[in-house]
Amino acid sequence: MTDRYDRQSFLGARAQEAIATARVGIVGLGGGGSHLVQQLAHLGFSHYVLYDPDQVEESNLNRLVGATQTDALEHRPKLAVAERVLRALLPEVEIDAFAVRWQDHPLPLRSCDVIVGGLDSLLDRSELEVCARRFLVPYIDIGLGVRRIAPEPPRMSGQIVLSMPGYPCFRCIGFLNEEDLAAEARLYGDAGPRPQVVWANGLLASIATGLVVDLVTDWTESLRAPVYLTYDANSGVVLPHPRLRYAVNRACVHFPDDDIGEPTFTPL
Amino acid sequence: MPFSDDEVAELKHFFPDVQGAKEGGITYLLLQNAKLPQGCQPGSMDLLLCPNERDGYPSRLYFAQKLQQPASLNWNGNCRVLERNWCAFSWKVEPGLRLAQMIQAHLRALR
Amino acid sequence: MNVAIRLRRAFFSTLVDDLARPHAFAFERVGWVFARQATTHRGPLLLPDWYEPVNDEDYVRDDKVGARFGTAAIRAALQRARATNRSCLQVHLHDHYGDTQFSWTDCKTIDELATSFRALVALPHGGLVLSRDSATARIWLPDHDSPSSARVTIVGFPTRFGAEHP
Q: Do B24 and A255 touch (CB under 8 A)?
A: yes
How far is Cα B85 from Cα B83, in angstroms, rounded to an integer? 7
Average pLDDT, chain C: 93
pLDDT of residue A2: 60
* ipTM for the complex shown: 0.94
**Hey, which residues does C35 pair with through a beta bridge?**
C48, C87
State yes or no: pLDDT of A236 exceeds 90. yes
Task: Using the predicted structure, report yes or no on whether residue A31 has a pLDDT greater than 80.
Answer: yes
Please tell me which of the candidates C38, C42, C158 has its beta carbon nearest to residue A261. C38
Contacts of B11 in chain A (CB under 8 A): 268
Q: Are C49 and C36 in contact (CB under 8 A)?
A: yes
The nearest alpha carbon in chain B to A188 belongs to: B76
Chain B residue numbers touching A191 (CB-CB < 8 A): none
| Span C15-67, pLDDT tens digits | 999 999 999 999 999 999 999 999 999 999 999 999 999 999 999 998 888 88
- Element (H or E) spanning C93, and its range? strand C87-93
Chains that touch A (3 or more CB pairs under 8 A): B, C
What pLDDT sits at residue A215? Answer: 97
Q: Under an 8 A CB cutoff, do A108 and C37 touch? A: no
Residues A159-209 have pLDDT tens digits of: 999 999 999 999 999 999 988 888 888 876 555 678 889 999 999 999 999
* A113 contacts on C by Cβ (under 8 Å): 153, 161
Q: Where are the domains of chain B?
A: 5-110
Contact A268 B29 (CB under 8 A): yes
A contacts of B54 (beta carbons < 8 Å): 178, 181-182
Q: Indicate yes or no: CB of A260 within 8 angstroms of CB of C39.
A: no
Instruction: Answer whether C83 touches A (CB < 8 Å).
Output: no
For B30, the closest of A188, A253, A265 (CB atoms) is: A265
Task: Give A43-61 pLDDT, tens digit per residue.
Answer: 999 999 999 999 999 999 9
Q: Report pTM.
A: 0.94
Domain residue ranges in chain A: 3-247
Cβ proximity of A115 and A109 under 8 Å: yes
C49/A135 touch (CB, cutoff 8 Å), yes or no = no
**pLDDT of A65 over the 80 cut:** yes
Residue in chain A nearest C37 by alpha carbon: A261
Q: Which residue of B has its CA nearest to A185?
A: B55
Distance CA C86, CA B58 (A): 37
Interface membership of C107 toward A (CB under 8 Å)? no
What is the CA angle C48-A263-C126, rounded to 5?
Answer: 25
Quick check: helix, strand or coil at residue B86?
A: strand
Nearest to C93 by CA among C2, C10, C23: C23
Are the beta carbons of A107 and C7 separated by less than 8 Å? no
Low-confidence residues of chain B: pLDDT under 70? 1
Q: By the CB < 8 Å criterion, does A202 face chain C?
A: no
- Chain A CA closest to residue B31: A267
CATH architecture of C3-155: 3-Layer(aba) Sandwich (3.40)
Fold of A3-247: Rossmann fold (3.40.50)
| Chains with 3 or more CB pairs under 8 A to chain B | A
Give the model's pLDDT for residue A258. Answer: 85
Please tell me the number of Cα atoms within 13 Å of C154 on its side-chain side.
24
Per-domain residue ranges of chain C: 3-155
Distances from the Cα of A258 to the Cα of A132, C23, C30, angstroms: 14, 30, 23
